[in-house]
Structure 1
């Protein structure tokens, strides 16, 4: 498993674990935007810090959620 920090780029995670794109919206409805055409542009620069700000979840919550999804897949 890749180390996940607040600076981890979302695109790096999605490239390594493509299933996250489908599973993240089940965890938080704000992640449904990953399935929009604009998502590729926005995700290019997004990191865990930005995900936290946009989702209302803490950085630690997001990191824990991502690790759990990856481990359970």
Structure 2
């Protein structure tokens, strides 16, 4: 069975993170078979003080929201 929906999560920023490379590889090979865009749940594209790290990092709620959006696409 072929997976047709993908969510990628990592702690690095969205732009230039390794999730972008994984996403690009998936789209290059599977574009016509995807049922939804590849979703990335990552850190923010901004510098942040370490005291705000819990708000910066992907959380289970952010990941769950991304899964719901992907499934309901």
Q: Taking structure 2 as the reference length, what is the TM-score of the superposition?
A: 0.32
* Higher relative helix content: 1
Q: Taking structure 1 as the reference length, what is the TM-score of the superposition?
A: 0.32
* Higher relative strand content: 2
